[in-house]
Amino acid sequence: MKAAWLLAMSVAFVTAGCGSGQGNPAAEAPPSAQVEHDQDSSIIQVDHPEQFAVVAAVEHDAAPELVVTGTVNPDISRTVPVISLASGRVVEIRARLGDTVKKGQILMRVQSSDVAGAYSDYQKAVADEQLASTQYDRAKDLYAHGATSLGDLQVAKDTEDKAKVDVATTEEHLRLIGSDPDHPSGIVNVYAPVSGVITDQQVTNAAGVQALSSTNPFTISDLSYVWVICDVYENNLPNVRLGDTADIRLDAYPDQLFHGTISNIGAVLDPSLRTAKVRIEVKNPGLMRLGMFVGATFHGQKKESHAAVPATAILHLHNNNWVFMVAGQGKFQRVQVTSGDTLPGNMQEVISGIKPGTRVVQDALAFENTVEQ
């Protein structure tokens, strides 16, 4: 029985193989893949959207702003070097770096041999003038009595005039190097030519000073007006114009706002940073010190249209700003935005990310907390 069953099964397989002919390729191919699209992670589906108040972004027109950083520098036109017209050794220094000085104040005293030579020339000129004056008086008396010619009188007068010029010149030389012709001294006082702050000092006590040398003992800067030098990138230069105003905020005094005027835009760009130096002239109320870091805001002249939403509609998360925009029935999309100025009425300017008319959730923080729960 078992052998007969096996024989019957073999015959059935052979018959089925012979009767099928060629196989069906479609039946042998693998089934087609079914692709399932994941939902956008920024889209949030809620069951009861009516629980969240929605507002439409309004239109707000404002001039564009460019914020850059810079440093406080002295106004070169208000920086005056202090020079000494007498060479010698410094015997006393009465002002130091950082001091505020007044015009005519003694800064240092120099012991100089130049005074001796200048005073010697002055004394010789005085003696020659006295002799020339005596000879001229004698020539006039002789000419009045017919004892000398007119030519001799004219020569005597010419000699007297030249002697007076020599006296005036040597006296002025003494005064220029800081010595009084009536009370000559080997010590020369060096005075402050202007009022201001000593921003550079290249001399110490007992040091040598060379007259009219390239190294100046002191440099005085008038800090009533200062320069704020900023770096502006090449692609931002169209937003900067000569004569425009700029708002200045010091890092040290963020609550203080100052105003300046753009007076120069560098003609040469930094080859490595591709930035131009922009100079802003600012009146110094006394808080600005050289080297301070500042933030400068340039205001454009042409207004642009931006969106404005309630401040509560913006969520600050991970150093970015977000809003929840209505994306359909019961759907909201989280969109990153760039915020601008704070506007009256607890409104916030939105520079990019959404447009006027876009509907957003009014209370973004409450919406975020509800979704997380």
Structural domain contains residue 193: yes
Question: Is there a single domain that holds both residue 194 and residue 99?
Answer: yes
Domain that holds residue 201: 85-112+185-220
Q: Which CATH number does the domain housing residue 358 bear?
A: 2.40.420.20
Q: What's the pLDDT score for residue 370?
A: 82
Entry pTM:
0.59
- Over pLDDT 70: what percentage of the chain? 88
Q: What's the pLDDT score for residue 169?
A: 93
Q: What's the pLDDT score for residue 27?
A: 53
Question: Is there a single domain that holds both residue 209 and residue 231?
Answer: no
> What gap in Å lies between CA 350 and CA 305, rounded to an integer?
10
Q: What mean pLDDT is predicted for residues 222-240?
A: 92
CA angle 87, 92, 97 (to 5 degrees): 95
Question: Is there a single domain that holds both residue 210 and residue 92?
Answer: yes
Structural domain contains residue 5: no
Q: Which CATH number does the domain housing residue 97 bear?
A: 2.40.50.100
| Interval 95-129: pLDDT, tens | 999 999 999 999 999 998 888 888 889 999 999 99
Q: In the predicted model, is pLDDT for residue 40 greater than 70? A: no
pLDDT category at 247 given cuts 50, 70, 90 is very high
Question: Is there a single domain that holds both residue 235 and residue 341?
Answer: no
- What total number of domains does the chain contain? 4
Average pLDDT, the chain: 85
Q: What's the pLDDT score for residue 115?
A: 84
Question: Is there a single domain that holds both residue 160 and residue 266?
Answer: no
- Over pLDDT 90: what percentage of the chain? 54
Q: In the predicted model, is pLDDT for residue 9 greater than 80? A: no
Q: Which CATH number does the domain housing residue 133 bear?
A: 1.10.287
Structural domain contains residue 131: yes
Structural domain contains residue 240: yes
> What gap in Å lies between CA 172 and CA 190, rounded to an integer?
16
Structural domain contains residue 215: yes
| Interval 297-311: pLDDT, tens | 987 667 778 899 999
Residue 220 near residue 79 (C-beta atoms within 8 A):
yes
The one-letter amino acid at 54: V
Q: What's the pLDDT score for residue 178?
A: 78
Query: How many helices (H) and strands (E) are present in the chain, helices listed first?
Result: 5, 23
Q: Which CATH number does the domain housing residue 281 bear?
A: 2.40.30.170
| Interval 318-344: pLDDT, tens | 888 999 999 888 889 999 998 888 888
Question: Is there a single domain that holds both residue 91 and residue 196?
Answer: yes
